[in-house]
Amino acid sequence: MQGLHLTADLYQCSGDLSIFVNESALAALCRKQTELSGLTIVGEKWVTFPEYQGEPGGVTGTLLLAESHLAIHTWPETGGVTLDVYVCNFSGNNSSKAQQLIDGLVDAFQPAHVQRNNLLRGDKEGPVGSGELLLESLNDHAVYGFRFNRRILSRQTKYQHLELLESPDLGLTMRLDGCLMTAEKEEFFYHEAIVHPAAISHPNPRNALIIGGGDGGALEELLKHNTIDRVTLVDLDADVIDVSREYLQAINHGSLDNPRVSVLVGDGAEFVRTIEEKFDLVILDLTDPETPAGPLYTTQFFHECKSVLAPGGAMVLHLGAPFHEPEQVRSMTAALTGVFEHVSAYGLHIPLYGSYWALAVVSDVIQPSALATEDVQQRLADRHIDNLQYYNDEVHGALFALPNYYRKLLPEVTESSRVAELA
Ligand code: SAM
């Protein structure tokens, strides 16, 4: 069964475009390239599609090969072509022939851009990993992924596509619009990191606001602080809250129904603009900027959040991956520096997000890195917090010890402001 599956998506081709709608010419080109590659044709089928909005239809064709197949589809309206060459390597290794065939066809169409994929198929030892490999982009050039055994739920909510998947490493995992959000066996990295550095640095946090965070994971961490009387959680999407209540108890441990908690469904930006109440902690536990959360990553919104902070309060948010999204981290910390006296950037590797992940505690008063290890230890003890999987008194300081490439993204701390900090 094992073999090699090559695909190529060709954009803005500049070769002889008449071939896009000429079935016999296209078939002749494919036959010629196939024979040149040394693969063996055993059958073929071609179809020309009808005219569309006055434009001639494209052509779809398959050459059946003794070694598997070649498939081709043309899109004359955009000058696009998709190619698919699959060879099995059962009786011999046909990989170089497959590579020669797809390269010959790519050259013939002279595309401005090509997107290629190489898949190893049908490993002779049996499945290399159970389940579907789902990839997520770190930026336009980098992806990472996990294999999932099964999809428990897939739902288009009013705002986003919500999936629940199950993986051997991660357990039950939530994805929103194809982005990994949280996972049973791994959630402690992010949820402990987004809550405890700020919460421990506040001497007596009583009233908190979480915007987003509908999975209840950050909420559960916050409720571990026995100083907390009240938490208001505002998430845009009722489905996220409902699904998390029903399926993600291993993450939220019922926090969404805790008597100290008010769970509201709505736009966090709207809520902050209209609420009179002041909060000791505000946690922005949102999807990334390129989602419905976009307006909540603006200078204006940072100012609005500052206006709902009680004196001595702090806000926390995640900034993205400093290696893969340096400009996002740079621009966000620059915007925050224009609003808050102290922008304490920190970070950690988060397996579910495929990278070292940046966060920041922002405040006019609180600077987590100024808190000594023994103070962190004392406050953890005073608040009876002893069941954490990531955060502890030493990790607190380590989180704020930044690698140089990340530190360089942050606004220059001028000598005077540094002296002020040390004073
Ligand atoms: N930990 C995740 C991360 O770092 O990407 C975030 C998890 S949480 C599930 C993200 C939540 O933000 C989602 O439930 C989504 O509905 C919510 N959200 C997005 N835009 C929002 C908005 N404008 N107001 C309130 N919640 C919002």
Question: What is residue 416's predicted lDDT score, i.e. its pLDDT?
Answer: 42
Question: What is residue 128's predicted lDDT score, i.e. its pLDDT?
Answer: 65
Q: Are 138 and 324 in contact (CB under 8 A)?
A: yes
Distance 299 CA to ligand 1 centre (A): 18
Question: What is residue 132's predicted lDDT score, i.e. its pLDDT?
Answer: 84
Q: Are 60 and 49 in contact (CB under 8 A)?
A: yes
Which residues, at least 6 apart from 358, have a Cβ–Cβ distance to it below 8 Å?
318, 319, 320, 321, 322, 329, 345, 346, 347, 406
Q: How far is CA 334 from the centre of its chain?
A: 23
Our answer on whether the CB atom of 192 is closer than 6 Å to any ligand 1 atom is no
Distance 310 CA to ligand 1 centre (A): 23
Our answer on whether the CB atom of 355 is closer than 6 Å to any ligand 1 atom is no
Q: What would the two tokens of residue 130 be?
A: 């159970």
Residue carrying structure tokens 């198929």 = 121
Q: Are 314 and 104 in contact (CB under 8 A)?
A: no
**C-alpha dihedral, 252 to 256 to 261 to 267, nearest 10°:** 110
Q: Are 296 and 224 in contact (CB under 8 A)?
A: no
Which of 190, 236, 243, 305 has the most ligand 1 atoms within 8 A of CB, as the residue to mutate?
A: 236
Phi-psi sector, 11: left (phi>0), alpha (psi -120 to 50), beta: beta
Q: Of 215, 239, 285, 393, which is the active-site residue?
A: 285
Residue nearest to atom 18 of ligand 1 (CA): 212
Report the candidate in 21, 72, 24, 71 with the shortest Cα–Cα distance to residue 49. Answer: 21
Our answer on whether the CB atom of 281 is closer than 6 Å to any ligand 1 atom is no
Q: Report the C-alpha gap between 254 and 360 in whole angstroms.
A: 27
Q: What would the two tokens of residue 123 be?
A: 């490993």
Active site annotation includes 386: no
Residue nearest to atom 19 of ligand 1 (CA): 293
Question: What is residue 17's predicted lDDT score, i.e. its pLDDT?
Answer: 82
In order of start, what are the domains of the chain with their CATH numbers?
A: 3-128 (3.60.90.10), 143-183 (2.30.140.10), 188-422 (3.40.50.150)
Q: Are 158 and 199 in contact (CB under 8 A)?
A: no
Question: What is residue 323's predicted lDDT score, i.e. its pLDDT?
Answer: 98
pTM of the model: 0.82
Our answer on whether the CB atom of 287 is closer than 6 Å to any ligand 1 atom is yes
Residue nearest to atom 2 of ligand 1 (CA): 181
Our answer on whether the CB atom of 215 is closer than 6 Å to any ligand 1 atom is yes
Distance 296 CA to ligand 1 centre (A): 10
Residue nearest to atom 14 of ligand 1 (CA): 214
Distance 339 CA to ligand 1 centre (A): 22
Question: What is residue 129's predicted lDDT score, i.e. its pLDDT?
Answer: 64
> Ligand 1 atom closest to Cα of 267?
24
In tens digits, the chain (423 residues) has pLDDT values of 788 899 999 999 987 789 999 999 999 999 999 999 999 999 999 999 999 888 889 999 999 999 999 999 999 989 999 999 999 987 788 989 999 999 999 999 999 999 988 888 887 677 666 678 899 999 999 999 999 999 999 999 999 999 999 999 999 999 999 999 999 999 999 999 999 999 999 999 999 999 999 999 999 999 999 999 999 999 999 999 999 999 999 999 999 999 999 999 999 999 999 999 999 999 999 999 888 899 999 999 999 999 999 999 999 999 999 999 999 999 999 999 999 999 999 999 999 999 999 999 999 999 999 999 999 999 999 999 998 999 999 999 999 999 999 999 999 854 444 444 444
Question: What is residue 413's predicted lDDT score, i.e. its pLDDT?
Answer: 59
Which of 189, 265, 286 has the most ligand 1 atoms within 8 A of CB, as the residue to mutate?
A: 286
Q: Report the C-alpha gap between 158 and 174 in whole angstroms.
A: 17
Report the candidate in 150, 10, 122, 153 with the shortest Cα–Cα distance to residue 76. Answer: 10
Our answer on whether the CB atom of 212 is closer than 6 Å to any ligand 1 atom is yes
